[in-house]
Structure 1
Amino acid sequence: MQKVLVAGLLLLVGLVGILAWYYFDMNQEDDQIRIGVTIYQMEDPFIAQIPLYIEKIAKEHEKADGVRIYVDTVDATGNQNLQNDQVVQFLERDFDVLCVNMVDRTAAGSIIDKAKQANVPVVFFNREPVAEDMQRWDKLYYVCSLASESGVLEGNIVVDAYRAQPERWDKNGDGKLQYVLLEGEQGHQDSLIRTEVTIKTITDAGIPLEKLDGDTADWQRAQVGVMMAQWLETYGDEIELIISNNDNMALGAIDTYQEAGITELPMIVGIDAIAPALDAVEAGTLTGTVLNDAKGQAQAIFDLAYGLAQGQDPVEQHEILENRYVWIPHQPVTKENVKEIRKFLQ
């Protein structure tokens, strides 16, 4: 009888403990800040850095402020319909703020309508919704870096390298650089602007260019292989410069040369400063890249999301906010400063 009573008492204590834990957890959930992040495609190595930084920053704030912060990151795998569903799920789960890296920048309207109806602010990043969509509600924000600035810096890397060693890069001695172009994505605003501004920067500096070929590779390293192999077969040593809209594709070009056993590479430039690109800059296979500051963007995204979740007015909290847009500056990266950039990104 005593054993039965003890067992019953233990069971009762256990049940009370479970209920107390559940009640405490539910109350804690009420105090928890919930940030939903949806990424266009986690296979993109630059984009993949941003949610990692956001989660790291959130943990630091939890310790410093004693506030529970839950960051849920999901991958839309390049599917806009899937991303729309992910947004609906975040809203149904009462998330406080959404951070959205659009699959299709022209398709933001549906997400905006759903968020507005639920009165949940949205911080878009990296893929800029069209201006008309951004004007549809005053709780929409955008964080990125100016594509034109990256184009200027990428062009200047080419200019500086050419002026330092013109005979090295102008292999045929005709006074101009024959180049091929690796474009990121058809219709993507950053791809178009980076291409135009990079080329203009080089030619404005008095260095003539001659385009041999170009194509889109959707920012992907693997997609560059086939086209680059064809260009190498067609043009060979005629290729003196490879302009890439991002590092991932530039690395794909380097892969092609190395697989062909060619050690003397043309000038190759990219944008983003992802870790493998920094390795390539140090190795001398990548002439230079441009820091597209994922860490700085993540900080701005989190700061906006954190403030919005607490009902703050971002205009009062963020000096760099301009008409609900935040622009994070770029930095050029060459062999001279690559080690400093590595430290900065840690």
Structure 2
Amino acid sequence: MKKLVLNTVAISVLLGSGLAVAQTEPLIGVTIYQYDDNFMNLMLSEINKESANFKDVRFLMNDSQNSQAIQNNQIDILLAKKVKVLAVNLVDPPAAKTVIAKAKKHNVPVIFFNKDPGAKLLASYNHAYYVGSSPKNSALEQAKLIAKHWNANKQFDLNQDGKIQFAMLTGQPDSTAAEVRSKYVIEELHNLGIQTEALFVDTAMWNGNMARDRMELWLNDTKGKQIEMVIANNDAMALGALESLSAQNKQLPVFGIDALPETLTLIKTGKITATVLNDGAYQSKVLVELARNLALGKNAAEGMPWKPENNSILSPDIAIDKDNVEQYRK
């Protein structure tokens, strides 16, 4: 009888220790503002691909369906599941303060990616990070591309007044990236000696379908025929604008940011003029590596070729047009 009791205890201990081993695999909670977004869908695929290389951590992926309420609920559930790290692609950038408060309360590191919460908020929590690109640098590169093609193609100046009459499609109104990209692309054009006139400027919320509809309204406006160029805060909106232009058999120079695969193909064929590389593949790789290090209790950049600067890791912004597009097409 004693032997039976001992054996039972031994089995329980073994099972218990086996269960403990299974439960010690650190969890990393990831929320993406919307899977149904061209660029974020690309990042989702890359995150899944990169995370598959590691068996010592597990990534829990969540689609926030473009709802901050859903994202907040997902974060609460992930924290209840005792995730070691949160990785958040914000739905609404102002919600970063709430997300940091939740992470702080549980002493969990949080990595914001793609949507920058701003330096002030990052500095408010020692364990907050940002992985993405610099919206200012991407705007400066976009301006250089516009200047290059404007100066080389005199036919772009439809009314020959030496000034770009443009339509601009912007991202979310409360987005730092949208605000910075919109501001600095025009400022840099002026610094480069190019005059501009804004005919239409409005948000399309980073969305291609909304951009298509917005562009259609503008083209049918009394000032529609005066548009000489389309400047978009991202490629999804540039593609939406192109769809509307094509439907009206109209061809104008269109500039985006992101370097989505379909954009690169259209640059090669001459339908899109240029874009700026926002390297989602690199950002996804850094995100996975950073999250894994933090989840395993390591220093953020331990064993990595990149180093955080002010708790941010930024990918380079590279201008792409027909001259170099083949280097970036896969």
TM-score by length of 1: 0.85
Q: Unaligned 5+ residue runs, structure 1?
A: 1-18
Query: Which runs of 4 or more aligned residues in structure 1 lie more than 4 Å from their structure 2 counterparts after TM superposition?
Result: 22-25, 315-319
The alpha carbon displacement at 1:48 in A equals 2.0
- After superposition, residues 117-196 of structure 1 pair within 5 angstroms as 117-166=105-154, 168-196=155-183
Query: What secondary structure sits across from 2:131 in the alignment?
Result: strand
User: 1:300 aligned to 278, 282, 286, which one?
Assistant: 286
**Are 1:324 and 2:317 counterparts?**
no
Provide Cα deviations, 1:209-261, integer angstroms capped at 9, x if missing partner: 11111111101111123321222122344211111111111111110111123
Aligned mates of 1:228, 1:208 — CA distance in 2: 22
In the alignment, which residue of structure 1 is the partner of 2:103? 115
Classify 1:315/1:56 alpha carbon distance in 2 versus 1 (closer, same or farther; 3 Å): closer
| Contact 1:320 1:327 (C-alpha < 8 Å) held by counterparts | no
Which amino acid is the alignment partner of residue 337 of structure 1? Answer: N
Provide Cα deviations, 1:282-328, integer angstroms capped at 9, x if missing partner: 12111000010101111111111011011111155554311211111
The alpha carbon displacement at 1:117 in A equals 2.6
The alpha carbon displacement at 1:101 in A equals 0.9
| Contact 1:54 1:299 (C-alpha < 8 Å) held by counterparts | yes
Aligned mates of 1:284, 1:246 — CA distance in 2: 18
| Contact 2:27 2:84 (C-alpha < 8 Å) held by counterparts | yes
| Contact 1:185 1:191 (C-alpha < 8 Å) held by counterparts | yes
Provide Cα deviations, 1:109-158, integer angstroms capped at 9, x if missing partner: 33223322322211111222244432332111111111010001111111
**Are 1:32 and 2:25 counterparts?**
yes
Aligned mates of 2:227, 2:329 — CA distance in 1: 30
| Contact 1:106 1:130 (C-alpha < 8 Å) held by counterparts | no
User: 2:239 aligned to 248, 251, 254, which one?
Assistant: 251
| Contact 1:143 1:325 (C-alpha < 8 Å) held by counterparts | yes
Provide Cα deviations, 1:21-59, integer angstroms capped at 9, x if missing partner: x87974553342322110112222112222321221112
Of 234-243 and 305-314, more deviation after overlay is shown by 234-243
| Contact 2:290 2:301 (C-alpha < 8 Å) held by counterparts | no
Which amino acid is the alignment partner of residue 257 of structure 2? Answer: I
In the alignment, which residue of structure 2 is the partner of 1:91? 79
Which amino acid is the alignment partner of residue 32 of structure 2? Answer: I
Query: What secondary structure sits across from 2:31 in the alignment?
Result: strand
Q: Based on CA coordinates, which of the two structures has the bigger radius of gyration?
A: 1
| Contact 1:123 1:305 (C-alpha < 8 Å) held by counterparts | yes
Which amino acid is the alignment partner of residue 31 of structure 2? Answer: T
User: 2:230 aligned to 242, 251, 254, which one?
Assistant: 242
TM-score by length of 2: 0.89
In the alignment, which residue of structure 1 is the partner of 2:218? 231
| Contact 1:99 1:124 (C-alpha < 8 Å) held by counterparts | yes
Which amino acid is the alignment partner of residue 307 of structure 1? Answer: N
In the alignment, which residue of structure 1 is the partner of 2:51? 58
| Contact 1:31 1:68 (C-alpha < 8 Å) held by counterparts | no
Identity of aligned residues (%): 33
In the alignment, which residue of structure 1 is the partner of 2:252? 266
| Contact 1:281 1:335 (C-alpha < 8 Å) held by counterparts | yes
